């Protein structure tokens, strides 16, 4: 299994949160187990993406020191490795980890430090944030891009950038300035689009050369955008439980995963925020098999799509394909 779309702050399980809290002398003993669960994850579905985004507050509050960021990267890797993940792309927004005085560069270096201490093959993606176009916000995003450029490697480090945050009020085209700078630096990029906002956000991203889209499920009702995605060989990082919980798709019975595969869209299966969504890749797979008629062939196709779209080297992709062949035939 391969997870290309996993947020660090959304992957802080209860055990990891407790370890991070104790490292920082944060007392969480007054919470019952159930209260603690509810603090860091969602029991059911929520009314919109914003309610979902609020679940990040507590995990994020634990990720404001160099030591806790390094430890979190390491612990999330360990946790994912135990679940049989072969390759992981873990993303985070450095600007969200500066509440206690760290610079974005401190955050990036701390995450890289955590990465070196574990052996699950993992790459990091730096997220820019959607938000009001204030000078400060633009400059935070530009700083993230400059850090990505500074630390960019082909593998085992920072390999790409992403655009995350509240999509509905802040369409992708508002971030054209950032996207231009990213293109100028030739940094690989994925963009959250067609999740909580319009399918047009996917069109804009694809027309601007983006080859990977986070979610993209809202293009299902727009055949011309589905065509555009297919023609451009764009990969969708689909995250079913997260999409259900945030109501990215109005009617989950019509979740378009099978439809996309049949149309030739390069679909990949991912968790988004495994701890917040109380899921893992096995569970996502089970869900799409039981609910949406995904079969063994689809499963293998999605896995190979993940290899093709991974932000890593051709050599490592060949290694992954070989492993998949041995495991799955
Ligand atoms: Zn996401």
Q: What pLDDT does residue 34 have?
A: 86
Mean pLDDT by 10 residues, the chain (329 residues): 97 95 91 85 75 85 97 95 95 98 98 85 97 96 98 97 94 96 97 94 96 97 97 98 90 96 98 94 97 96 98 97 87
Ramachandran angles phi, psi of 191, nearest 5°:
-135, 130
pLDDT tens for each residue of 62-91: 999 999 999 999 999 999 999 999 999 999
Q: Using CA atoms, how far apart are residues 36 and 285, in angstroms rounded to an integer?
A: 27
**Local structure of residue 189 (DSSP, 8 states):** E
Q: What pLDDT does residue 118 have?
A: 64
Domain of residue 321, residue span: 2-328
**Local structure of residue 322 (DSSP, 8 states):** H
Rg (CA), the chain: 18
Task: State CA 294 to chain mean position distance.
Answer: 22
The CATH number of the domain where 90 resides is what? 3.20.20.140
Number of domains in the chain: 1
Cα(328) to ligand 1 centroid in Å equals: 28
Sign of CA dihedral 183, 186, 187, 189: positive
| Beta pairing class for 212-215 and 235-238 | parallel
Cα(164) to ligand 1 centroid in Å equals: 7
Cα(249) to ligand 1 centroid in Å equals: 15
Catalytic residue among 178, 195, 237, 284: 195
Cα(30) to ligand 1 centroid in Å equals: 31
Q: What is the 3-state secondary structure (H, E, C) of 33-50?
A: HHHHHHHHCCCCCCCCHH
Would you call 195 a catalytic residue per the annotation? yes
Q: Provide the token pair at 209.
A: 């050369």
Q: Provide the token pair at 207.
A: 């027309």
Cα(329) to ligand 1 centroid in Å equals: 31
């Amino acid at each position: 299994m391969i997870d290309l779309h996993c947020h660090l702050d959304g992957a802080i399980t209860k055990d990891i949160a407790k370890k991070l809290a104790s490292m920082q002398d944060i007392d969480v003993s007054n919470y019952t187990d159930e209260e603690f669960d509810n603090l860091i994850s969602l029991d059911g579905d929520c009314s919109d993406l914003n309610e979902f985004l609020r679940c990040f507050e507590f995990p994020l509050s634990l990720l404001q020191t160099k030591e806790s960021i390094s430890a979190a990267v390491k612990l999330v890797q360990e946790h994912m490795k135990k679940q049989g993940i072969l390759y992981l792309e873990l993303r985070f927004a450095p600007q969200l980890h500066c509440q206690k005085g760290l610079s974005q560069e401190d955050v990036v270096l701390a995450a890289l430090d955590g990465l070196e201490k574990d052996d699950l093959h993992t790459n990091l993606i730096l997220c820019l944030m959607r938000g009001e176009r204030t000078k400060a916000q633009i400059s935070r995003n530009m700083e993230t891009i400059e850090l990505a450029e500074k630390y960019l490697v082909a593998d085992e480090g920072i390999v790409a950038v992403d655009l995350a945050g509240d999509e509905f009020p802040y369409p992708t085209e508002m971030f054209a300035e950032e996207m231009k700078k990213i293109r100028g630096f030739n940094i690989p990029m994925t963009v959250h689009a067609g999740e909580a906002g319009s399918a047009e956000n996917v069109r804009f991203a694809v027309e601007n050369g983006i080859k990977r889209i986070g979610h993209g499920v809202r293009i299902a009702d727009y055949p011309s955008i589905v065509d555009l995605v297919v023609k451009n060989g764009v990969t969708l990082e689909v995250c079913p439980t997260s999409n259900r919980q945030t109501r990215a798709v109005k009617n989950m019975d019509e979740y378009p995963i099978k439809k996309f595969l049949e149309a030739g869209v390069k679909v990949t299966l991912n968790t988004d925020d495994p701890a917040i969504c109380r899921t893992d890749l096995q569970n996502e797979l089970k869900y799409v098999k039981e609910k949406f008629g995904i079969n063994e062939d689809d499963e293998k196709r999605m896995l190979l799509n993940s290899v093709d779209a991974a932000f890593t080297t051709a050599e490592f992709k060949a290694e992954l394909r070989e492993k998949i062949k041995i495991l799955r035939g």
